Amino acid sequence: MTQAKSFPRGGVYPPDTSALSRLEPLTNAAVPPRAIISMRQHAGPPAECIVRPGDGVREGMMIGRAQGPRSAHVHSSIPGRVVEIMEETVAGGERCQAVAIEMGGEFDRSGRAGEEREWQALSRFALLGKIQSAGVVDLGGTFQPAHLALASPPGGAVGVLIANGVESDPSLSCMSALLREKAREIVTGLRIARKLLAPSRVVLVVGEADGHLVPGFERAVDEAGEEIEITVVSSKYPQGDAEQLAATLLGGRRAGQGTRRSVSATVGHAEDRHVVVLAVGTLLAVHEAVALDKPLIERVVTVSGSIVRHPRNLKARIGTRIEELFDECGGLSAPAGAIVLGGLMMGRAVDSPNASLTKTVSGVIALSAKEARVPRERPCIGCGRCIDACPWGLVPTRLYKLAAHGRCDAALAEGLAACSECGCCAFACPSRIPLADGLGRMKGACGAAGKIAEATA
């Protein structure tokens, strides 16, 4: 492979700090003594809490019921007793509940991998039911409930099913760990997805840094007797974004063509086929849900940072406190200036280590005090680097100025709705203007005013 493919425009090359954690083997994190599980760990309405303080719960028991078809169930990740139901405000200003569980009692499935059940004979409806009841969400991208992504799209067959093995951020390496150690399970997940969607093509995409994992994966594919293409793409950020991935593989398209995206990347083509993108972590969860009857109660998360003593990927239970995740990795060698949930480009900073792991957190990064210093913001000098960097072809500096004056309609007319808040513009800005944040707030304000029709409620 001489020049790995990449998406057509824009993109930046943030420093690749994934090497800190990539080379370590995937480790199972210790079960937390206390888990705090939020009712909203997905895109869509939060789940409704169905337990009360004092109730005993078992590992894998449903503690939150999905509200409506666009929501997902939430399960307890540890056995024990519910001690408290807290109210919390999630990003976006909504309030939802979080359940605090104190560990106790027996584990149903500690350590054992469990027997694989036969699933080939199940109908598609039954498969989707299993996936839905396991509370699986798309772990790598949109965090939509997976049963929506895996349902056949109306009005057309699925053209391409893309298994996204590209890291969503250069500071993370959870995809790498999954590809290396869970190849067989991912292939099984792909087989299940293939049965559900019946695509013409199935492609696994990996980033350049993981190119050496391709032979191992090919072996797993051959063993399963499946026909799966494997492609290596460049490591330019945001390659892991579903739309950019589809553009890389199938060619980009201009704004205004094709149908609006629902839960998967929809790229207009001559045949107007649908494209479904699923992260490999999601495929693993699908495999566990269908073949092992195991709900989504743990996930692979990258714990990294220059001040973390032993950065690595952990398979940790949902609800584990972030502080405990750092303890698993040998603790911090210096006081953290900031802790980021997610990757460094799009993650959210939290101000205390009492936060806990949810299905939507792919990485936890500790920044030193020096790294966490907010640089001095200077006026925009009109250099145009943000425009060069934007993968969507927007003009971030102009949108930022419109946002500063609250001009919703003008901003939407100039393409604000296409912004994915990837952060390329702010990364490239020499004046250190928080462009992505400003655009994101504007999008939120426009959405709250009802001006963007969202695909999900």
- Considering only residues 6 to 45 of the shown chain, the ones binding another protein according to CB under 8 A are 8-9, 12, 14-15, 36-38, 40, 43
Q: Do the beta carbons of residue 285 and residue 185 sit within 8 Å?
A: no
Between 221 and 419, name the residue whose CB sits nearer to another protein. Answer: 419
Q: Which of residues 250-269 bind another protein (CB under 8 A)?
A: 252-263, 266
> What string marks each residue from 311 to 350 as x (binds another protein by CB under 8 A) or -?
--------x-xx---------------x-xxx-xxxxxxx
DSSP H or E segment with residue 62: strand 62-65
In angstroms, give the least distance from the CB of 431 to another protein.
5
* Residue closer to another protein, measured from CB, 183 or 442: 442
Please identify which residue in 2, 3, 54, 89 interacts with another protein, judged by CB under 8 A.
89
Nearer Cβ to another protein (156/430) = 430
* 195 versus 398: smaller Cβ distance to another protein: 398
Give yes or no for residue 239 binding another protein (CB under 8 A): no
Closest by alpha carbon to 238, among 416, 424, 83, 415? Answer: 424
- Shortest Å distance, C-beta 223 to another protein: 35
Q: Could you give the 3-state DSSP secondary structure of residue 192?
A: helix
> Rule CB under 8 A: is residue 409 a binding residue for another protein?
no
Closer residue to another protein in complex, CB, 132/356: 356
Q: Is 363 in the site for another protein (CB under 8 A)?
A: no
**What is d(CA 161, CA 279) in angstroms, rounded to the nearest whole number?**
11
Chain CA centroid to CA 225, Å? 29
Q: How far apart are the first and last CA of the chain?
A: 43
Q: What mask, x for binding another protein by CB under 8 A, covers residues 152 to 191?
A: -------------------x--------------------
Q: Which residue in 183, 154, 178 sits closest to 167, CA to CA?
A: 178
Q: What is the smallest separation between the CB atom of 359 and another protein, expressed in angstroms? A: 10
> Which amino acid, residue 248?
T
What minimum distance in Å lies between the beta carbon of 304 and another protein?
12
When the beta carbons of 114 and 430 are compared against another protein, the nearer one is 430
Least distance from C-beta 370 to another protein, angstroms?
12
Q: In the complex with another protein, which residue's Cβ is closer, 133 or 368? A: 368
Strand partners of residue 300: 315
In angstroms, the CA 268 to CA 256 distance is 10
Shortest gap between Cβ of 22 and another protein (angstroms)? 17
Query: Which stretch of DSSP H or E encloses residue 410?
Result: helix 408-413
Pairing relationship of beta strands 298-304 and 363-368 according to DSSP bridges: parallel
> Pick from 86, 157, 334, 448: which binds another protein (CB under 8 A)?
86
Tokens of 274: 């649908």
Q: Could you say whether residue 432 binds another protein (CB under 8 A)?
A: yes
Q: Please give the torsion angle defined by the CA atoms of residues 173, 244, 214 and 212, in that order, rounded to the nearest 10 degrees.
A: -50
Torsion, Cα of 118, 123, 128, 130 (10° steps): -40
Q: Give the residue with the Cβ less far from another protein, 181 or 437.
A: 437
Ramachandran sector of residue 390 (left: φ over 0; alpha: ψ -120 to 50; beta: rest): beta
- Site mask, another protein, residues 130-159, x = CB under 8 A? ------------xxx---------------
Rounded to whole angstroms, how far apart are CA atoms 423 and 30?
34
